[in-house]
Amino acid sequence: MDYTRVSRSGSWLAVVLFVLLGAVLSQANPAEDPEQNVPRDALGAASPEYQQESLAKLMPEQDVGRVPDGLDPVIWSAFVPEDNAMTPQRVALGKKLYFDKRLSADGTVSCATCHDVTRGFTDQLAVSKGIGGQFGKRNAPTTLNAVLLQTLFLDGRSPTLDHQARQPILNPVEMGMADEESAMKAIGDDPEYKKTFQEAYGRDMNYEDLGRAIGAFERTLVFVDSPFRRFLTGDNQAISAEARAGFELYNGKARCAACHPMSPSNPLGTDNRFHNVGVSARHQDFEALGRQAVRLLQEDPSEQKLDELAVGTDLSELGRFMVTRNRVDMGSFRTPLILNIGITPPYMHDGSLATLWDVMDHYNKGGEANPFLDGGIEPLALTEKEIDQLVAFLFTLTDVRFAGENQRQFEQQQAAAKENRPIRDEAIANRQTLPFERRVMGTKNTDQ
């Protein structure tokens, strides 16, 4: 615009209108998605260098020997093994290993591929992608705060972080190393590794210490400083009125706290137990899968075989049953962490629910009826307003260091929910018809 041709009074009006127009356009065309500027590899993971730069911004200084802020020292000590005390050398070694793609058979996958710093320490895929373009059968849980879990993997087949860290490297779908010796050989010629293993553990490189080091690094990923936690400690303005209403529903009508208890002493929001909540249950013949699993695991009872079946076959749907062989555990999975839930979509063990609105819809209708459905799962009769309040609350559970990503995810999920959510089944949600009745009658929910 040529402002020299406008009168003095008119020029001010033109400038004001121009600024207002710019503001409107910026709302209609929001700033470029920061994801577009992230260098990513063929599997979609941010480059190791970019991830480490992002991690340094999130955690600029670390005293690894100190109890993380917000955690009780007694509780913390219970989750640090006696044979793997936290030292700077062990954490540094584990960090290097976490980002090292040489630990995969084709040099394309590292721990950080599926647990990406820029994506809430997950890959934000329904199911994870491994070597050779293979997809597994399960959604990648976040490594954020995984130190405080009582068991690892969604079926609890691993007892510690140190043990868990060794499994994906040998899994044929994930990182694909033939055996422990192959994994160590892949990094064995690196003089820095030879030095840092010796400094960290006082002995030569070995596979058990590799797992210990990765576990030590992952124990530093404590992110519990959420707006909701600040609300619990007395800051009444830390969360909105809508989120406060959602918290009341969370503890009451919505019954979320039954499996996801939240308190200063349990900041993660998990009961660390296993439940069949009816995810994708209508597709599964649990009895037939169970018989197949028992036969295969009798033939080869090794933990590597269990890992292979759980990640790469349809037996994945059996969940905890694969570990216990107990019928009541069929289709049961560990209650996930609810802390930082907003930045770790999609949801459930198979990544089948894209947004937190979809998650609330699933529970509102009482899950999917099946013979092994947890007894606590039933229709909730939540209104649309109540679902919005619950989702608003869930987004207050993200650590403040992820505030930007949290807001981006809220807007993205909200838009997706408005466009893709199926029509609400009022009869199911309001208990006019119960899920098992439709199963017996051979009819489907209208939102399927």
pLDDT for residue 442: 59
Judge contact between 112 and 45, C-beta under 8 A: yes
Q: CA–CA separation, 308 vs 262, rounded Å? A: 34
Q: CA–CA separation, 270 vs 257, rounded Å? A: 9
Task: From 122, 152, 145, 143, select the one nearest 68 (Cα to Cα).
Answer: 145
Cα-based angle 185, 158, 183 (whole degrees, multiple of 5): 5
pLDDT for residue 12: 37
The residue type at 421: R
Q: CA–CA separation, 158 vs 156, rounded Å? A: 6
Residue 325 burial by CB count (10 A; 0-12/13-18/19+): exposed, middle or buried? middle
pLDDT for residue 24: 37
Per residue of the chain (448 residues), what is the pLDDT tens digit? 333 333 334 433 333 333 333 433 334 343 445 667 899 999 999 999 999 999 999 998 888 989 998 888 988 999 999 999 999 999 999 999 999 999 999 999 999 999 999 999 999 999 999 999 999 999 999 999 999 999 999 999 999 999 999 999 999 999 999 999 999 999 999 999 999 999 999 999 999 999 999 999 999 999 999 999 999 889 999 999 999 999 999 999 999 999 999 877 778 899 999 999 999 777 788 999 999 999 999 999 999 999 999 999 999 999 999 999 999 999 999 999 999 999 999 999 999 999 999 999 999 999 988 999 998 899 999 999 999 999 999 999 999 999 999 999 999 999 999 998 877 667 676 666 766 666 666 555 444 4
Cα-based angle 364, 367, 371 (whole degrees, multiple of 5): 150
Which two structure tokens, joined as six digits, stand for 299?
Answer: 């033939």
pLDDT for residue 299: 97
In the numeric block, the tokens 């820095």 are attached to 192
pLDDT for residue 345: 97
Task: From 265, 240, 260, select the one nearest 250 (Cα to Cα).
Answer: 260
What count of Cα atoms within 13 Å lies in the side-chain half-sphere of residue 38? 20
